[in-house]
Amino acid sequence: MSVDRILLTNDDGVDAAGLRALHDALATEYAVTVVAPADDQSSVGRRLSDDVAVDDHELGYVLDGTPVDCVVAGLDELVPEADAVVAGCNEGANLGAYTLGRSGTVSAAVEAAFFDVPAVATSMYVPGGDDWWKREFAAADFAHAARATRYLVDEAVDAGVFERADYLNVNAPIADEDRAPLRVTTPSTWYGMRAERNGDGRVGFSDPIWGRMNDGDVPDPVGTDRRAVVDGEVSVSPLSVPHAAAPNAGLDDLADAYESAVRS
C-alpha cells in the first residue's frame, strides 16, 4: 500500500499553529485534506457527537465537533479515499500510558485504526510552568515534530509497520536544538495523579510529572516515551487499539458458576 491522500486533524482546533505546521510539511508530497474541530477539543478522548455542523475551509473542512467526529466524518463521508490519518501537532505532549485515552489527538488515531487506516498521532512537549499553554507558537517550533511525522508517513507504510501496529504515537521536543534523533519507545507505566480537597466543596487534581520533567528528574528508563523526550529525542511508540481481550483471565469458571450464584 502506498499513501497518496492524507486526512489531517487535531484537537487544538483548525487554526492551531501545529496543524498548519504538519499540513505544510506533508502537502509538498501528499494530497492533504484537513478535517478539524472548529475550536479547542483537548482531553475529550473518544467522545462522539450525535451529529455535527460541517463547513468548508481553505484546507478542507471544519466541524463543530470532536477529533473522533472528524475522523468518522472524514473517512466515511468527506474524504473516504484517504490512505492515512495524521492527528496533530498537539501543543503539549501525550506521554505515558495513562494519558493516551484522554487525548483527543491520540483518540483520532485510534479511531482511524478501527477503519483499518494507518494513523500517526503527533504531539510536541513544551517545558515550562503551569502557564506554558499560554505560549504563542511559530511554525519553526514544530520542526522536529513535522520532520519526524513526514518521515514516518513516507517510510512506515511501505516498511510494513502498520501490519504489526495499528497507530504510532509520536512525541517530539520543541525545536530549540538542531538535532532530535528518533527513538522507538513504549509508553511509560508510571502513574502519579494526585487529588486534594480545597475546603470549598471541591477536589483539585494535579500531575507532578510535569514539574519533574522540567528538572529532568523522571522515573522512566531509556526506551520509554517520557525519557526520550526529556533526553531531546523524538519518541515514536507503535501501539495497538485498546480493549483487546485477555483470554486466560480466570473468568471461565466464574462464568460457569454464574447462574447458580445469582439464584442463591
The annotation status of 214 as a binding-site residue, yes or no, is: no
- Please tell me whether 12 is known to bind a ligand: yes
Average of per-residue pLDDT values in the chain: 93
- What CATH code is carried by the domain that includes residue 63? 3.40.1210.10
pLDDT tens sequence across 193-227? 999 998 889 999 999 998 898 888 899 999 999 99
Residue type, 251: L
- State yes or no: 42 annotated in a binding site: yes
How much is the pTM? 0.93
Per-residue pLDDT tens over the stretch 111-133: 999 999 999 999 999 987 666 66
Number of domains in the chain: 1
Structural domain containing residue 73: 5-262
Ramachandran bin of 45, using left for φ above 0, alpha for ψ from -120 to 50, beta for the remaining angles = left
Q: Is 1 helix (H, G, I), strand (E, B) or coil?
A: coil
Share of the chain above pLDDT 90, in %: 77
> Following CA atoms 5, 67, 80, 172 in sequence, which dihedral angle do they give, to the nearest 10 degrees?
20
Using alpha carbons, select from 10, 229, 244, 235 the residue that is nearest to residue 108. Answer: 10
More confident call, 203 vs 261 = 203
Q: Which residue has the higher pLDDT, 216 or 165?
A: 165
Instruction: Please check if 11 is assigned to a binding site.
Output: yes
